[in-house]
Each structure stands twice: as C-alpha cells, then as structure tokens.
C-alpha cells in the first residue's frame, strides 16, 4: 500500500508546533478534539452546503496535513479519529485511483454481504466514480446524517479489504512481496471499517467526541 495511505505528507511549521504544544500530548489531544468539533460544527451549521463543498474541494486539492496530523494521534473511536480515517480514504484514492477501483470491483464481486450496496458506488465503478463516492460520503459527514456517512465509509472499507485479500491470493504464487503488501492493506482497511462502524454507533448514542 502507498505510504500516503497510512499518513499524509508532513509539512510542519514552527508556528504550528507552538500552537498545538507538540511536547504536550494532553494539549495535542485537546486541540485535536477542538479542531474536529469546530470544523464539523461550522459545516453543519451552514444550511446552504457551501462550507461543505469548499471543504471537500479544498481537502481533495490541497489536503489538510497539519490538522489531520493532530487527528492521527486521537483514539480510533473519537470524532478526530473518525475524520482522520475518512481523510485517509480520500488521499488513498487520489494517490492510486486505478488500483483502488480494481480492488473495489474485485471486492464487490467476492464479498457476500450488503456492503457494496451500503457504500453506494455504481457497478462496476470507475476511478472517477469512486472519487465521486468518497466525496459524497464526506459531504454526508459535514452536511447530512453523520452516522450514515460513517457506515457508508465502513462498508466501502470492507469492500476494498475483500478486494485486496483476493488480489493478494492471486499474486501469492508469483509475487509474494506484492501479495504481502496487499494483505497488509486489507488488514488496515478491515481495521478502519471496524473503527468507523464503532464511531457511527457512538454518534447515534451521542457519545462520540
């Protein structure tokens, strides 16, 4: 899996480090939760959807590396932790859209569940259509039912994980290193799916923060 899928390119600045108190984990956690809450609240308060559209477009083109780097340290089942995983899905797709589409289509065929329907991609899905799907899920996060958006993202991850597992099996006899890489990718995606599903359940209970 591309390194970008695990962590965005870091572009730290001195001012940013001073702001978040890089040496103080408690302060980093506080700021991570505060920025995630503020971002979500700002977008959801805007009934026109304009803020959401700008957020989706901006993160697709420029990323939000420094804020997302804060979120990467947050607990998996938290608001910043959930946003971090959604951000990873977006940058993963942008970094290798052709492979992402291949894995998604293979997973859709192999996975015996409703996940492909829940995720909502066309059948089969082109890289451009998957990109539109991820953007639609992000719009749902910022301007829709947050828990449904997380459930859709979790389903998307499970389809991708299934595809990565089966393609890894194909590579195993001839390219074991490639097979290992895809297997690790599948395990990460399965983990993200579990984390996003748990965060969706917490949101519905009113305990996600």
State the pLDDT confidence band at 150, using cuts at 50, 70 and 90. very high
State the pLDDT confidence band at 17, using cuts at 50, 70 and 90. very low
How deeply is 128 buried, as exposed, middle or buried, from its count of CB atoms within 10 A (0-12, 13-18, 19+)?
exposed
% of the chain at pLDDT higher than 90: 48
Question: Residue 16's pLDDT is what?
Answer: 33
CA–CA separation, 106 and 148 (whole Å):
24
Question: Residue 127's pLDDT is what?
Answer: 92
Which tokens hold the place of 102? Answer: 């291949």
CA–CA separation, 137 and 144 (whole Å):
9
31-89 pLDDT per residue, tens: 778 878 887 887 777 767 676 667 666 565 655 666 677 788 889 999 999 999 988 89
State the pLDDT confidence band at 6, using cuts at 50, 70 and 90. very low
Question: Residue 19's pLDDT is what?
Answer: 39
Question: Residue 25's pLDDT is what?
Answer: 72
Q: What single-letter DSSP state applies at residue 206?
A: T
Question: Residue 109's pLDDT is what?
Answer: 94
Residue 9 has pLDDT above 70, yes or no: no
CA–CA separation, 47 and 180 (whole Å):
46
Residue 8 has pLDDT above 70, yes or no: no
Considering only residues 154 and 93, tell me which one the structure prediction assigns the higher pLDDT.
154
CA nearest neighbour of 79 among 87, 71, 68: 71
CA nearest neighbour of 138 among 125, 164, 156: 156
């Amino acid at each position: 899996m591309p390194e970008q899928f695990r962590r965005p390119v870091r572009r730290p600045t001195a001012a940013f480090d001073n702001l978040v108190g890089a040496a103080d984990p408690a302060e980093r956690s506080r700021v991570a939760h505060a920025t995630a809450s503020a971002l979500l609240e700002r977008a959801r308060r805007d009934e026109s959807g304009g803020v959401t559209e700008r957020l989706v477009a901006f993160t697709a083109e420029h990323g939000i590396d420094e804020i997302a780097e804060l979120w990467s340290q947050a607990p998996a089942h938290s608001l910043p932790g959930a946003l971090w995983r959604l951000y990873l899905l977006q940058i993963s797709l942008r970094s290798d859209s052709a492979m992402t589409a291949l894995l998604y289509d293979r997973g859709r065929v192999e996975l015996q569940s409703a996940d492909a329907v829940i995720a909502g991609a066309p059948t089969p899905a082109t890289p451009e259509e998957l990109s539109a799907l991820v953007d639609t899920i992000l719009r749902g996060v910022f301007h829709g039912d947050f828990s449904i958006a997380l459930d859709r993202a979790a389903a998307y991850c499970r389809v991708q994980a299934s595809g990565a597992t089966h393609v890894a099996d194909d590579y195993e006899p001839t390219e074991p290193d490639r097979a290992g890489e895809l297997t690790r990718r599948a395990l990460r995606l399965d983990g993200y799916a579990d984390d996003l599903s748990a965060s969706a359940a917490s949101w519905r209970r009113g305990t996600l923060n």
